[in-house]
Structure 1
């Protein structure tokens, strides 16, 4: 052969070699013949197999169109791109007819000739069986009437009714896929007398074994595969999938599990025996549970199972097919070492009864252990291992991303904390600067007030020294430092003169510490002296009133006296000291308030030093 084979052509040659046991080497004569046969069949393996076993007939138009479509596989966007065309029903295929839609589809080499023989004999056998069907129906009607009259059981239509075994019967009912599958499982329960195990239903409901989005509402009546039924439990019903055939295919594809398709018919004479002895066999169910095999089935009298039977092209009933993921374009005849890229669901093998070899539990058990599982299990195990590795890698990436996010969040929190502390520090510095500025301003204001007060006291002392003392009332005052000062006042002089004299006596020590102030000829301009203390008699206690323009309101002065120290106008000495005699002893209240209001910053510093010395 001159031109080398493409990968698709090479895969078709190896598939044909695996089916027909021919040599796959294009260099040999047998290999060149296989290549030439595939080229004439449009590189369609099924058409080439039909040519070999049908004596080299020309490919049909449907096969030719199927070969053309097989040369161009479905795009990845197709929902069934990873499912072999021979497994898809007509409804799933859509308007376009794919390979095998009108022919033998996924038949093996042993059933190709029998399939065409069945198609040929369907019409004549139907014509010959029509008179027998009429006679049988009339007899059944008469016997049914007699049975009703005498309350007897009518004749069974399971084994006596004549039928055409080669005719493609239409479904008798139109049930939904879920209802049809549930009805078929219920028929198995009625025939076998077995019920679904209570622990199976409880585990299914408790573990929430419902099909996910990929299963299109498929409900799995099966318990967890990690808890198989203990050996020796006797016959039991397999864990059937209740749903549509397409949903079963998607479940097998998504969960990477082996799928067994079981087709039967209630009108078949082998149906009851097959359900009792094969489907409920203990050894068969043990293998199905241990290998976690999916099982889907139906009665071909229903629409869903009828379409599946047309797709899989069964020859005889009961029929069992085995489907699993296989390499899409295998480069080797061994699936265990083939590439796992883009696997496809394929029909592995099938089991059908024949006159010489009925379908028994031993046959199904042996077929599972020797043919199906060795072919499907290694490849499925590799796919599951890859999924587990991808899941572990994804988990590791998620964990690493989580740690990175945690570290980033922690670093961000640290940065925010540093920024917050820096902002708090700056705010504290601003507040401290503002507070210091306010305190400095207040200190300057107090110093200015204290300087004006000192100038006023110097002027008042000079004025008191120039004016003679009065003779009407003599006032004696005990100062806060223990000294006692006396002075005479006239009866018409105001009490403000008494307060001014006491202010000068109290401020003498402070003015001396400040260095003294030169007396001026008049009072400081714009200055109105206010007195931050109160004068009161010793006994009985009476606060000496003062004109309101000289009184400085102070919350700490004369606390609790209840006496009003201010008046509307001038208060004379005679009015203030009336009834107290010519000599009046006074005390000074509010010295601390007066000292606080009149001292300067330097005086405060000196007082602090004095307090420190006294404390030492």
Structure 2
């Protein structure tokens, strides 16, 4: 032992007393040794006892994690119990301190093993029968848990698992279920219950209408529970116990399972968190809340931040989580006192402020929703405008493309028509020169009266007569007819005396050569053909034919001139070629009868 109690300083005596309060007694010598090994730091000493190993005490060791601090509103409470400040002392750990702690823990475990077995058997039997543990059993449990390893439990490090195991232990010890689980079991059996979700595996516990009910504990760490209170704007209820304390069983039996207390917490939407200080998370919470007497109940919620100078609340600053009240000990945690405090003081004081915060939160949420709706409507309108603009642009581009294509097609058509018109004009001009050349050739003296007297009737009704010799060519007859298509503005004296084209031959031979070179059917080159009036017989042009050798022309005849269309030589009698300015062709059978007033050669005789 590092020293007796009488040799300790007042600050060391206070630290020793605080450690024994937290651990519910224990061997003072062991507590002095542990405190001395950690430089008389109560928090680190408690961690050594709970975790079962010694913390390094070197100056360069990383300090413990910063814990979240809350403002403590204890205006209606007494001064804080105990002190948490560390007292400076020796920095040195006594030699063989760890071995000493291990040997004492081993001896005490061997001595309390039979009691532990008996305690486990009784817990199992009472849990199966759903019978609350008697108060005397708590004393047995307290005795089996004393010693150097009194508060050391190998618990999971996950706060949610620790909280769930602690809640399950409460259910087994009290025969009660959490309010949310009770509601789910009642729904499964057809009995109405609170509509709350369960967070643990359901277990059958008989009739849910008669089983006692526990508060719906938050499964997680203390910090997570407080953040949930802050985020959801709810009041938090913190319950700390120690199963080694003699009042723990009574608190569980009279307060935790009291229907009025549980219903009040549920109806007012409290977030309840609890734990056993033998667990690290619960002990750390007890250290934050300055809890030294158990059972311990505290209430926390968001409150306006107080001004350090005046101590009054400031509405302009953001609210902070505040410890509203603390209730240490079995006398302060009875159902009547807690309900009276909650009904008369805490709820009237906290509810208006939380309601105002909830209203502001709803207003902000509504504003966010309205902004989101406005943004959505703006984006939709913008997308519609964008689509309309893009559609209009596409339509304009399509219209421009169609106009451009139409313009190109029109230009091509006009160009083709211009070229065709020029070609036809050139052909008509050249063809007119050939007509005039043929008229010049036909100016030769007529044949003697013994020749062939041939009369022609033009499509416009005019007539012409000429006497040809039997040896005259069919080309001379066609040339004579062709000269009748020459307009009056072309005078006879201006007719060309040579072929219009540069040909090697002259006269009718040049005409035959031109027709052969033009690669056109002879009907299309002449653009007319001759036929007898009655009976109708076509006399087509032949290059080397003479009039005397053509049947039907031996004694003279009257011929009808029929226009041949430029695009269809097989339909010669349809209409007049407009380029020559001639009227539609007229069938000789429709104009003349047998006596057509045409003087034939026999009549002259």
Query: Aligning the two structures, in what range does the TM-score lie when normalised by the shorter sequence?
Result: 0.5 to 0.7
Q: Which residue of 2 aligns with 1:180?
A: 162
Any conservation in 2 of the 1:222–1:239 contact (CA below 8 Å)? no
In structure 1, which of residues 263, 283, 297 is the aligned counterpart of residue 260 of structure 2? 283
SS in 1 for 2:153: coil
Deviation at 1:258, TM superposition (A): 1.2
In structure 1, which of residues 175, 194, 197 is the aligned counterpart of residue 181 of structure 2? 197
* Aligned length, in residue pairs: 426
Q: Which has the larger radius of gyration?
A: 2
Query: Structure 1 CA distance, aligned partners of 2:457 and 2:183?
Result: 110
Query: Structure 2 CA distance, aligned partners of 1:394 and 1:491?
Result: 115
Q: Which residue of 2 aligns with 1:376?
A: 350
Deviation at 1:431, TM superposition (A): 4.6
Q: Does 1:450 align with 2:424?
A: yes
Q: Does 1:258 align with 2:266?
A: no
In structure 2, which of residues 75, 78, 99 is the aligned counterpart of residue 110 of structure 1? 78
5 Å matches for 1:305-324? 305-324=282-301
Query: Structure 1 CA distance, aligned partners of 2:550 and 2:185?
Result: 115
SS in 1 for 2:288: helix
SS in 2 for 1:241: coil
Q: Which residue of 1 aligns with 2:326?
A: 350
The 1:430–1:135 alpha-carbon spacing in structure 2 relative to 1, beyond 3 Å, is closer
In structure 2, which of residues 112, 119, 124 is the aligned counterpart of residue 137 of structure 1? 112
5 Å matches for 1:394-413? 394-412=368-386
Query: Structure 1 CA distance, aligned partners of 2:423 and 2:393?
Result: 44
In structure 2, which of residues 140, 160, 168 is the aligned counterpart of residue 160 of structure 1? 140
Deviation at 1:454, TM superposition (A): 1.9
Deviation at 1:376, TM superposition (A): 2.2
Deviation at 1:547, TM superposition (A): 7.7
Query: Structure 2 CA distance, aligned partners of 1:397 and 1:115?
Result: 51
Query: Structure 2 CA distance, aligned partners of 1:258 and 1:276?
Result: 24
Instruction: Name the TM-score, length of structure 1 as normaliser.
Output: 0.51
5 Å matches for 1:188-587? 188-190=170-172, 191-194=174-177, 196-197=180-181, 200=184, 221=198, 235-330=212-307, 338-339=314-315, 341-354=317-330, 357=331, 359-412=333-386, 415-416=389-390, 419=393, 423=397, 426-427=400-401, 430-431=404-405, 433-467=407-441, 508=485, 521=496, 549-550=519-520
Query: Structure 2 CA distance, aligned partners of 1:304 and 1:437?
Result: 92
In the alignment, structure 2 segments of 5+ residues that lack a partner are: 1-61, 88-100, 123-127, 129-133, 188-195, 201-208, 504-514, 525-540, 585-605
* Root-mean-square deviation over aligned CA pairs: 6.2
Query: Structure 2 CA distance, aligned partners of 1:100 and 1:442?
Result: 96
Query: Structure 1 CA distance, aligned partners of 2:473 and 2:282?
Result: 131
Query: Structure 2 CA distance, aligned partners of 1:273 and 1:485?
Result: 150
The 1:184–1:394 alpha-carbon spacing in structure 2 relative to 1, beyond 3 Å, is same
Deviation at 1:236, TM superposition (A): 3.1
In the alignment, structure 1 segments of 5+ residues that lack a partner are: 1-92, 120-125, 148-152, 204-218, 224-231, 528-544, 555-569, 608-616
Query: Structure 2 CA distance, aligned partners of 1:489 and 1:325?
Result: 138
The 1:244–1:520 alpha-carbon spacing in structure 2 relative to 1, beyond 3 Å, is farther
Query: Structure 2 CA distance, aligned partners of 1:280 and 1:424?
Result: 81
SS in 1 for 2:333: coil
User: Deviation per CA, 1:275-304, whole angstroms, max 9, x where unpaired?
Assistant: 454334333233223322211222222222
Query: Structure 2 CA distance, aligned partners of 1:352 and 1:107?
Result: 15
Query: Structure 2 CA distance, aligned partners of 1:97 and 1:247?
Result: 15
Deviation at 1:494, TM superposition (A): 10
Deviation at 1:416, TM superposition (A): 4.8
